[in-house]
Amino acid sequence: MNHIKKKNRWISYVCIMIGALLASLSVAWILLPNDAIDYGTAGVAIIISKLTGAKLSTCVLLVFFPFLIAGYVFLGKKFTLKAGLGALVYTLGLHFFEQIPYELNTEHFLAVAFGGAILGAGLALILRFGGCIDGSEILANIIVKKISDQTGRNYSMTPVLLAFNVLVYVTVFVVIDPTAALLSLLVYVIATAVIDHYTDHFESIKQVTIITQDPEDIVKEIKKQLNKTCTMMDSRGAIAGENTTLICYVSYFELPVMKDIISDHAGSFSTVTTIDEILR
């Protein structure tokens, strides 16, 4: 089991690095030469770079670093390691691709649509394997986690992410160029559509259903590592016999921890479902 976990961990690191390189290639070679920008904290870094003339890779690193520290404090060491790896490779990728005199010279709309799709594919790969290269996602996760811990209710990250990116695009519209803002909005729409397709709406709440004969230890670990509680129901399998069904609600970034908890308890079976809304 430990060997399989180590292998999966290294696969996740490689996939995060590939995703970060795809994202940096899209930004450096396609989006920026066609007057569009990335969204989230990367978009903030691009705005700062354009206004000050500072190197983009340096701006990205400086803007993302405070969010990385916040992620370590609130979301844990494992998440921060993957986020830091993705951010480092993304920054190095920007630095490398900026040095190569290439740009996709075609009609702006086509270039931005293509660049947004590549960006979305790269970010989806990163998110799929538990990484993150955007500080707005870390910020949204921290805000939702704090509110959920205080209220005992689960909330989606969507409102926080939308509010953050609205501020970014309004800033682009005012201080850079209205056309750039509209092209950048197109990037956001296409990239998030690709991300949602491959991560099943990562910003939404996830319902984890666990069927197990070892409920007490699993509930204890969920409470300890995620500060979450579970709904417990008696159930019966046609072959396994008596067991317990646990239902727990987590964020997308908490799923890797949940998977580790479940994998440590042999014989447990689980499913993950996206929840758009919880009615009370």
Asked whether residue 1 carries a pLDDT value surpassing 60, the answer given is no
How far does the chain reach from its first CA to its final CA, in angstroms?
40
Q: And the tokens for 116? A: 């947004």
Tokens of 2: 């430990």
- Element of type H or E holding 84: helix 77-99
In this prediction, residues 39-52 reach a mean pLDDT of 94
CA 5 vs CA 8, 79, 224, 250: distances in Å: 5, 16, 21, 22
**Residue 35: pLDDT band with limits 50, 70, 90:** confident
Mean pLDDT of the chain: 90
Q: Supply angle C-alpha 52, 83, 176, rounded to 5.
A: 25
Contact status, residue 144 vs residue 249, Cβ threshold 8 Å: no
Q: Taking 60 as the threshold, does the pLDDT of residue 248 lie above it?
A: yes
Residue 105's Cβ-side half-sphere holds a number of Cα atoms within 13 Å equal to 2
C-alpha to C-alpha distances, 273 to 206, 222, 247, 251, nearest whole angstrom: 6, 18, 11, 11
| 227: CB partners within 8 A, 6+ apart | 149
User: Tell me: the pLDDT tens digits for 94-141?
Assistant: 999 988 887 776 788 888 999 999 999 999 999 999 899 999 999 999
Residue 182: CB partners within 8 Å, gap ≥ 6? none
pLDDT value, residue 119: 96
Q: What share of the chain has pLDDT > 90, as a percent?
A: 64
pLDDT band at 2 (very low <50, low <70, confident <90, very high): low
CATH architecture classification, 205-275? 2-Layer Sandwich (3.30)
The pTM (predicted TM-score) of the whole model is 0.89
Whether the predicted pLDDT of 227 surpasses 70: yes
DSSP, residue by residue, 21-81: HHHHHIIIIIIGGGT----HHHHHHHHHHHHH---HHHHHHHHHHHHHHHHHHHH-HHHHH
Q: Kindly report, as residue ranges, where domains of CATH 3.30.70.120 are found in the chain.
A: 205-275
Assigned token pair, 64: 């993302």
- Alpha-carbon distance values, 9 to 2, 118, 125, 130, 206 (Å): 10, 24, 14, 10, 22
| Rounded Cα gap, residues 27 and 247, in angstroms | 40
Query: Do 251 and 145 meet the contact criterion of CB atoms below 8 Å apart?
Result: yes
The model's pLDDT over 159-216, given as tens digits with 9 standing for 90+, comes to: 999 999 999 999 999 999 899 999 999 999 999 999 999 988 888 899 999 999 889 9
pLDDT computed for residue 269 by the predictor: 86
Residue 97 has a pLDDT of 92
